[in-house]
Structure 1
Amino acid sequence: MSKASQTRREFIKTNSLAAAGAMIAVGAPSTLLAGARIGKTAAPAILGGTPAWTKEKWPAWPRWNPETDEKQLLEVMRSGVWSRAGVVTEFEKAWASALGVKRSLAVVNGTNALVTAISQFKIQAGDEVLVPPYTFIATVSAVLSNGAMPVFVDIDPVTYQMDPAKIEAKITPRTKAIMPVHILGLPADMDKIMAIAKKHNLVVIEDACQAHLAEVNKQKVGTIGHAGCFSFQNSKNLPIGEGGAVVSNDDAFMDLCFSYTNFGNPYGSAVGAVGAGANMQGTKLRFSEYQAAIGLAQLKRLDAETTTRTENATYLKSQIKDIPGIVPYQLYDSVTRAAFHLFPFRYKQEAFKGLSRAAFLKALSAEGVPCSSGYTTLNTQPFIAETFSSKGYKSAYPKEMLDIKKYNELNKCPENDLLCSEAVWFTQNMLLGTKSDMDDIASAIQKIHKNAEQIKTLSKK
């Protein structure tokens, strides 16, 4: 080798290392550094290896850009008009337009959106509402708040949604409504649910609190049933801190919902008016102007963020589906868009040398990948028995219906029990990262799978 050739190679080597160091120093795009940051054969962080990522580098949530987001909010704050007025109406119209629905009513939170919708379909003491067991407590507490009886329909094990094949067996003369929940932002099988509801003359209230802009057959969820309910709590894909909305194409129903949330005053009554005369027993669930201003700012980027989440979720699924013991979600064929408030998969510990889910989550967290086990079983929680022991329930239902042991027996959901023991979640903000970030998540799982025996041994010490 000539001295000149050796010198050129040394120059290239030296400057390549310098360039790599410079990229790291200035925060090079993760796509350029992914291969260097982690390899499939690297030692897991929990065993002393380098973490795949750091929690601090995941996209922050909620997002707030002072330059674009604060103008209207500051105008509202300086106006002194903070209770419901024109900005709330503007937000309601914008949200209805985004969904392609006639009417939207903003309320204080998603839970009370559900309470309002149930109450204004006149579902009350003595009635039954079909609900899935894999959902947040608010779905069931809203039913109980109206004095009705939740009846649990087990899930489809691959989609995590209410299984339509199990619905009709749960219908009784007391059944008034089906409340599918598009849990995790993954739509339920609305075609079959609506067909069953029509056959049995039942109301369908969609709990779309986690499913902003998700679609079935290109129709937004929340607009397919007789009414839909959304949440704008801080973790949601449209975050306002707290907030919710009821949507429907039924004007008479929406008028009633407005009255219910405004002390029972007639629809169209001015906020704060005391002389209109209430025409129903209502409550106060009104939205504020500054909440609406925040919502309008967030809504401007929701569609683009939903597209990013969908693209990253689809890619991440493709990267982890062949790892033994990792079983990602499935979508129904009718789903044309999912919201991915959460990215879920099932963890089969037998494919990880018997490594427990808790130990897997700990190892994954050590890699800098935030994760959780999700919901525990809902249908057997003590709050249901406590509600059944109240005077109201004892006066509305026969004693045998309030026997909690019998109730639990009738409402067994074995598929849900298994899912609650296997599920793993990633939060929606992680899906706003890069394709390389999704590679890092997959690589972290691969590292844990490859070293599962050693991690298992460590977890026992």
Structure 2
Amino acid sequence: MLSQLALHGGPKTVQKLFPWPIFDEGEVEAVADVVRSGQWGNPDCTGLVEAFEQEFAKYCGAKYAVSCVNGSVSLRLALIVCGLQPGDEVIVPPYTFIATVSTVIEANGVPVFVDIDPETYNLDATKIEAAITSRTKAIIPVHFAGQACDMDAILDIAGRHKLRVIEDAAHAHGAEYKGRKLGTLGDAGSFSFQSSKNLTSGEGGMVITNDPELYRKMASLRNVGRLPEGQWYDHFLPGCNYRLTPMQAVLLSSQLKRLDDQTRRRDDNGLLLNELLSEIEGITPLSRGHGETVHCHHLYIFKYDPAHFNGLPKNEFVDMLAAEGVPCFRGYPHPLYKQPLFQEKFFMCYALPDSVSYADTVCPVAEQACAEEAVWILQHAMLGTAEDMVAFAKAIRKIQTVVRASEKVPKSV
């Protein structure tokens, strides 16, 4: 029976490839025009970077946007201008990319991990208040995979405790919460344009806000501390050169024109996959109905239960699914607090007082997601057709049928 699986020499269920990024000659010519102009960097005499910032702010429904070199820097800029002081605490989820938390340390803050909701894998709003202390300054809700956090609850908590809210929307381009674009609900919203993201120029970042003072400070920090009223060699804030290039700006502007159609397709395909996978024993899609009106599916995540697959470990299941042609990944191997950065307290973490230790930190839901449950289907696969989604479900059923009929769970290959 195992020979029927593509991993063991059988035919692949999904024969199609899902390219990313998607572009045409429009992007090529836009970048070529910048190259021909000779205006490759800053100061941006072409105005292309500022034009894209305005375009992106308008798209999101925000007043201001500050572009920068990547999404890590955009988070750091937001933390600094929101008033983070050495030793201040920031509430973060443990199930996210390292930059969500390492930027807190870079800004001299102390990350405080709060577990995730088992239904969405987003920050569990019901557990936030128990983590708040007199040192708590901000909350970073991560709209993980493009699924909106419970922002009404988070904003209510933040309002009552006078905390800043910085949305990590690195996965959430085009996604919405109750009709509003993610990134516009808190004090600031941070985006990444790294190569895997739904809107990409290879690298790059953006932070949006409706607060004119936050905008003024972030724009200065991004541009070596300059302010509009100063001269070229006047530096008012301790900023660095974090500027986006005109070539990235025109590439992003072209890509932005595709984003709405791509987001609708990912959202529709996610709803279809939810229906298809809910019919398979041992497969549970993450739930919707928590305020998201558009889910942009930077990832499509489902829970895997090995008990319905003859005890097949998650990682081996993912290897089989990938071999069947489904672009997928096993996700994070462990929560962030288990990274050496936190377990060994690297010497550069000088903002972490001796009293702070992550040795005994445990977030059970995040641990379960990492070790046993979470399987990711990647965003470019979500741009496929309805028939492709049916094929993804067929691949999972095929694996289940084969391993159930096998006497033993196959060992890792």
Residue equivalent to 1:362: 319
How far residue 439 of structure 1 moved from its aligned partner, in angstroms, is 0.8
Give the secondary structure class of the aligned counterpart of 1:112: helix
Aligned positions, number: 406
Q: Distance in 2 between matches of 1:268 and 1:70?
A: 37
Partner of 1:62: 21
Equivalent in the alignment of 1:274? 232
Q: Which letter maps to 1:174?
A: R
The one of 301, 324, 334 aligned to 2:258: 301
What do residues 331-384 of structure 1 show as CA deviations (whole Å, max 9, x unaligned)?
243111111000101111011110111221121122111211111321121112
Question: Aligned with 1:193: secondary structure?
Answer: helix
Task: State how far apart, in whole Å, the 1-side matches of 2:289 and 2:348 are.
Answer: 40
SS of equivalent to 1:459: coil
Does the aligned pair in 2 maintain the 1:309–1:431 contact within 8 Å?
A: yes
Question: How far has the Cα of 1:243 moved from its partner?
Answer: 0.3
Task: Write the deviation string for residues 111-150 of structure 1: whole angstroms up to 9, x where unpaired.
Answer: 0000111011120311000000110001001101011000
Counterpart Cα distance in 1 of 2:412 and 2:41: 56
1:48 Cα offset (Å): 4.2
Q: Contact 1:187–1:331 at 8 Å: present in 2 too?
A: no
1:400 corresponding residue in structure 2? 355
Q: What TM-score do you get using the length of structure 1 for normalisation?
A: 0.85
Q: Which among 263, 271, 277 is matched to residue 314 of structure 1?
A: 271
Q: 1:44 & 1:338 partners in 2: Cα distance?
A: 32
Which residue among 132, 135, 148 is the counterpart of 2:96? 135
8 A contact 1:159–1:332 mirrored in 2 = no
Cα pair 1:46 1:455 within 8 Å, conserved: no
- Hey, what does 2:403 align to over in structure 1? 452
Amino acid at match of 1:440: A
TM-score (norm. length: structure 2): 0.94
Q: 1:447 to 1:200 in 2, by over 3 A?
A: same
- In structure 1, what is the Cα distance between the partners aligned to 2:331 and 2:181? 25
Other-structure match for 1:424:
375
Mean CA deviation greater in 69-78 or 437-446: 69-78
Correspondence 1:75 to 2:42: no
8 Å CA contact retained: 2:110, 2:351: no
> Cα offset for 1:203?
0.3
Secondary structure at 2:350's aligned position in 1? Answer: helix
Deviations 1:273-292 (A, max 9, x none): 633x1111111101110010
RMSD: 1.9
Residue of structure 2 equivalent to 1:33: none
Structure 2 residue runs of 5 or longer lacking an equivalent are: none
**Which residue of structure 2 aligns with residue 199 of structure 1?**
160
Q: After superposition, what is the alpha-carbon deviation per residue over 1:426-447, rounded to whole angstroms, capped at 9, x for unaligned? A: 1111011111111111001001
User: Given residue 96 of structure 2, which amino acid in structure 1 is its aligned partner?
Assistant: T
Deviation at 1:296, TM superposition (A): 0.6
What CA distance in whole angstroms lies between the structure 1 residues aligned with 2:67 and 2:9? 50
The structure with more helix, counted as a fraction of residues: 1
Tell me whether 1:323 sits opposite 2:280 in the alignment: yes
Identity %: 41
Residue type at the aligned position of 2:381? M
Task: Please give the per-residue CA displacement for 1:299-329, whole angstroms capped at 9, x wherever unaligned.
Answer: 0100000001111111111111121111111
- Does structure 1 conserve the Cα–Cα contact (< 8 Å) formed by 2:316 and 2:412? no
Unmatched tracts of structure 1, length 5 or more: 1-41
1:58, 1:391 → 2: CA distance?
43
SS of corresponding position for 2:137: strand
For the residues of structure 2 that align with 1:314 and 1:61, how far apart are their CA atoms?
Answer: 22
Deviates more, 1:330-339 or 1:173-182: 330-339
